[in-house]
Structure 1
Amino acid sequence: MVAIDGLTDLWETLLSAQPDPPPLLVLLTGLVALVVVSTRVPWRIGRNAITIAHEGGHALAALLTGRRLHGIRLHSDTSGLTLSAGRPTGPGMVLTLLAGYVAPPLVGLAGAWILGGNRITLLLWIAVALLLAMLIMIRNVFGVLSLLVTGGIVLAVSWYTSPEVQAAFAYTGVWFLLLGGIRPVAELQRLRARGRMPASDADQLAGITPFPPFFWVTLFALVNLVVLVTGALLLAGPILTEAGITV
């Protein structure tokens, strides 16, 4: 358990850097995340975290582009819906629609950057703060429960576990966000090909731009692949350093 006396100690705890993680931990957590993304039941459970990041991306983009955010719904089938009001076309709507599928790996990239400075506790508390901020806009019971459970787990790990457990949890989570951005894009195109997602983000983007849905699916995939490689290089820093490789 983390022992903290006063705001000064809390601030020092959040900003202090933990020791470099063992390269084996970085490798194993990446493999664990890959297994979760690749297997059916673990993915079905873990995908809720991807949906949270996806809808959070829509919501943040809507706010940053001046749209009025009405609410977010998270569903038990791992789907979600973000409602905003404003111009139905234009850059704001394009960015809002575009943000969903690229948000999980971009969040993972930000996490990888923070982990690059070994500020593991800070990363976990930022995650809790973002989940609490998103909770304000949730408009259904499952969404509230999903965020409370996710945030509770992250907070418990940051408060009650050892630095080693925190490191393993943080690295697994960041790897999962980076890797977990790829599979939904593949699922999107597969469902679109079967005519089962006529109102997908890609199709909506096609409706307000000159580009077809497949262009947007391809863009999602390319962005997420580039972010995955960049994040992986950041996370693999300890492994590369031990091997004497400078990137």
Structure 2
Amino acid sequence: MPLDEVTDIWDRLFGAQPDPPSWLVVLTALLALAVVVVRGPWRVARNAITIAHEGGHALAALLTGRRLRGVRLHSDTSGLTLSAGRPTGLGMAVTLACGYIAPSLVGLGGAFLLGGNHITLLLWVTVLLLLAMLIMIRNPYGVFSVLVTGAVVFGVSWFGSPQVQAIFAYLAIWFLLIGGVRPVGELQTLRSRGRLPDSDADQLARVTHVPGLLWVGFFGLVSLVALVVGGYLLADPILSAAGITN
């Protein structure tokens, strides 16, 4: 590959894009909120939350020394991550705890990149993470879901104009930040009705002897803090224009 092409790719990847206009930040936030709140769009878009959720379990399992056996994603937006190791202890607890907070933490990481105007870098990192996730998938629907998501992100990153990339990136990160909160509420609703006895929170309760409700509270607190901090980072162009921040 010629040096000038390598330099061009490097500049595209690590170069900073201009600050987005205020309307883009506000519009994408409202669109993401609508997707999370409205039942129909949420049922489809929730697949992205599930990918991040199961990815959180898988990464935690690997980092704590457990043997990852695979990840399954289902068409009803549920998922399952299987790992081998001690059924109790720190590794198991961390693995269980990282699912519900993963979408929010991924969104927070993305907000930091967008705060530095690294839109293209964010999109390419997302593609790499999805490729890594693909290696761990063990069922056809899961492969299809990750491939489609990765193809969309790659298409936007490679063929999209700077404005299209900005709209897509801000919409995706707002969605992860806002959408990371809703499953925690759904979790507690199902638990209160006795319909989810083996939820992550209840498994954590058995492993750690800490009540499941406290674990739900922990999931909710992390998600809300990520939303507030990430939202502040994403709204920085608006705040700067208003003279609130430097």
Query: So what's the TM-score if we normalise by structure 1?
Result: 0.97
Cα distance between partner residues in 2 of 1:183 and 1:124: 24
Deviation for aligned residue 1:182: 0.7
Give the corresponding residue for 1:142.
Answer: 141
Deviation for aligned residue 1:190: 0.6
Give the corresponding residue for 1:163.
Answer: 162
* 1:115-145 deviation per Cα after TM superposition (whole angstroms, max 9, x unaligned): 0111101100100000001100100000000
The aligned amino acid for 2:199 is: S
Deviation for aligned residue 1:9: 1.8
Deviation for aligned residue 1:235: 0.4
Cα distance between partner residues in 1 of 2:143 and 2:84: 22
1:15 aligns with 2:14: yes
Percent identity at matched positions? 69
Cα distance between partner residues in 1 of 2:160 and 2:61: 36
The aligned amino acid for 1:151 is: G
* 1:69-99 deviation per Cα after TM superposition (whole angstroms, max 9, x unaligned): 0000000000000000111111111110000
Give the corresponding residue for 1:97.
Answer: 96
2:172 counterpart SS class: helix
The aligned amino acid for 1:97 is: L
Cα distance between partner residues in 2 of 1:232 and 1:208: 34
Deviation for aligned residue 1:193: 1.0
Where does 1:10-49 land on structure 2 (aligned, <5 Å)?
Answer: 10-49=9-48
1:128 aligns with 2:127: yes
1:83 counterpart SS class: strand
2:27 counterpart SS class: helix
Give the corresponding residue for 1:118.
Answer: 117
1:212 aligns with 2:211: yes
Give the corresponding residue for 1:180.
Answer: 179
Give the corresponding residue for 1:87.
Answer: 86
Runs of 4+ aligned structure 1 residues displaced above 2 Å come to: 4-8
Deviation for aligned residue 1:7: 2.4
1:66 aligns with 2:57: no
Cα distance between partner residues in 1 of 2:12 and 2:88: 45
Q: Which runs of 5+ in 1 are unaligned?
A: none
The aligned amino acid for 2:205 is: A
Cα distance between partner residues in 1 of 2:63 and 2:17: 33
Cα distance between partner residues in 2 of 1:244 and 1:8: 36
1:200 aligns with 2:188: no
Query: So what's the TM-score if we normalise by structure 2?
Result: 0.97
Give the corresponding residue for 1:243.
Answer: 242
1:158 counterpart SS class: helix
Cα distance between partner residues in 1 of 2:206 and 2:5: 54
2:28 counterpart SS class: helix
Cα distance between partner residues in 2 of 1:69 and 1:194: 32
Cα distance between partner residues in 2 of 1:22 and 1:190: 38
Deviation for aligned residue 1:5: 5.9
CA RMSD of superposed structures (Å)? 1.1
